[in-house]
Chain A
Amino acid sequence: MKTGDPIVDRLVDLIAKMPGIGRKTAQRLAFFILAQPEPYALDLSESIRQLKENLRTCPQCFNFCHQELCSVCSQTSRDTGLMCVIEDAMSLNQIERTGHYRGYYHVLQGALSPIHGIGPKELRIQELLARLKTMPVQEVILATNPTLEGEATAMYLAELLGESGVKLSRIGTGIPMGGSLDYVDEITMTKALDNRRTL
């Protein structure tokens, strides 16, 4: 599905590499950019350039940051007894948006997936172990995604951290708030029942 124009096709190829975007959507986005006034396209390319030039990885939690430490690690008022382990910076943003969690984070930068060449060494697991030795962490919340790979990563970490004496917990999964039981699929319902709590 080529447009015939090498410049447009190159942009389509690049956009189509993004997650969740197929060639058809990539083409639509490319033509959208083409139809916009020039400053929009320049702004877009400049912000992508800046993203790569000015953002780097936080040496403590592996979230992205502008300065030496990320916006979370630089806050000294947070609860040092809590550590939330997540797959990527997007999950961090989601949790931060709630304003409910006051501990620190550790971004693994992925989940275990041997078929994609991602084993324990490819994740920031050693760095997590090192942090746990230096910080007075009392509870580690394993908040990897409830996918096959995310669950396997949580299970792997649970075994690894099992003897460290620190309390381990897994983020809850089940029925979304405001949702009706009528529309919940069987797997989610099973999870919700497995993860039920005593009142």
Chain B
Amino acid sequence: MYLESLQTHQFRNLQDQRLELGPGLTVFEGANGQGKTNVLEAIYLLCTGRSFRTHGLIECCRNGTESFSLSGSLQWEPRAKPLAVAYQAGKLQRLVYDTPRTGLEYLQESAIFAFTARSKQLVEGAPEERRRFLDRLVYFFEPHHLRELKEHKRLQQQIRQVLIEQGSPALLRSFKQPYLTLSKRIVGRRIALIENLSNEAQQLFRQLFDFPLQLQFTYQIRNGSSVDQYERQMERIEARERLFKRLMMGPQLDDLSIEHGGFPASKFASSGQIRAFVLSLECAAMQRFRSEKNTDPIFIFDDIDAELDLNRIHQFCSFMQSHGQVLVSTSKHAIIPANMLNRAFFVEQGATRLERNAE
């Protein structure tokens, strides 16, 4: 799978332009503040209908405007399909073959993984970041996961209201039963994903980044120990939930512990190591995607030179060369050896110029 082209209109500081893209490794070079990340953001937004930087899409409109649009052609065998997103009057319209799609439908039209400035939050950020990361990965393999998360959130709201109003036990049970079923399914999927990716991520961590210590991911169920015991543990905690008028067990409260050499990564790992953890996990997920779907997802890597040393950048690029379409940005010229590159663009003041095309 790869994006063949990108057409931008009034998107951030980018000039209205059309980029011809292709499979393999593509680099966007340029000084700081020229628009490299904006190009990657445009690609991500076109593929997902979401930005990796902001929830307020009005920020993506060029200064002085209140709308933008992006379009392009996605090649996913057996044919290319036209994608487009258009933002106007506070709303984003998502189109495939010029036909509107809902947010969830649109997400399923492509598969794109991204490593951005925010990705390190997986280790350094709040538990919510780790849950979001897990759910995003689960979604790639089980698309209905997002729909169930949405339903689960609604159930949380209903139960919270019953607890606040001290509704009858029968009323609470009528919402708690589906809550329990959905919670078990969501937690089960997250745990299965972690178990599935752990070994692969560990191997990649050593192979790509040459860090010798053991990397360990453990899913932590708040106020519980395992999915098998979920029902019993939820029953046990119900009296306390009624007393404190809030839910005390559920996937929205869980966390993912990441340890490096037996110590919490957030406290003891260096910035470069944290980058390497997240990249290893992302790459493990991409490997699994490839083996399940028989195609590589698109991969975006913003600021490849930040915090990783040159040797590790080369090792990583060499590995990613054979992984479908990989789009990276860097402020350092020629940091990636020319023989690894398929395409190089130079970005200056929002204009993107093709510098090298190996095809």
Interface residues of chain A, those whose CB is within 8 Å of chain B, are 1, 112-115, 119-120, 148-149, 151-153, 155-156, 159-160, 185-187
Contacts and interface: CB of A to CB of B under 8 A. Distances in A.
A112 B157 CA distance: 13
Interface in B58-89: 89
Given A115-B157, A115-B158, A186-B143, 9 more contacts: A114-B162, A115-B161, A119-B165, A119-B171, A120-B168, A155-B174, A159-B173, A185-B144, A186-B144
B165 A148 contact: no
29 contacts: A112-B171, A112-B175, A114-B158, A114-B161, A114-B165, A114-B171, A115-B161, A119-B165, A119-B167, A119-B171, A120-B171, A148-B151, A148-B154, A148-B158, A151-B178, A152-B158, A153-B174, A155-B173, A155-B177, A156-B170, A156-B171, A159-B173, A159-B174, A160-B170, A186-B142, A186-B143, A186-B144, A187-B144, A187-B148
Closest 10 pairs (CB-CB, A-B):
A114-B161, A156-B174, A186-B144, A155-B174, A152-B174, A115-B161, A152-B175, A114-B162, A115-B157, A159-B170
B147 interface: yes
Contact of A148 (B167, B171, B178): B178
A113 B165 CA distance: 12
Contacts of A185: 144, 147
Contacts of A151: 178
B193 interface: no
Contacts of A148: 151, 154-155, 158, 178
A73 B177 CA distance: 34
Contacts of A159: 170, 173-174
A1 B168 CA distance: 44
Chain B interface size band reads 20 to 34
Interface of B: 89, 142-144, 147-148, 151, 154-155, 157-158, 161-162, 165, 167-168, 170-171, 173-175, 177-178
Contacts of A119: 165, 167, 171
B89 A152 contact: no
A112 B178 CA distance: 14
A181 B168 CA distance: 40
Nearest to A113: B158
Contacts of B144: 185-187
Nearest to B145: A186
Contacts of B165: 114, 119
B147 A187 contact: yes
A1 B89 CA distance: 9
Contacts of A186: 142-144
Contacts of B174: 112, 152-153, 155-156, 159
Contacts of B89: 1
A149 B177 CA distance: 12
A144 to B, nearest CB: 11
Contacts of A153: 174
A109 B207 CA distance: 62
Nearest to B164: A114
A8 B101 CA distance: 30
A19 B165 CA distance: 27
B148 to A, nearest CB: 7
Nearest to A185: B144
A113 B175 CA distance: 10
**A1, A159, A185 pick with most chain B CB within 10 angstroms:** A159
A159 B175 CA distance: 12
A20 to B, nearest CB: 14
B180 to A, nearest CB: 12
A115 B159 CA distance: 9
A49 B196 CA distance: 63
A153 B171 CA distance: 9
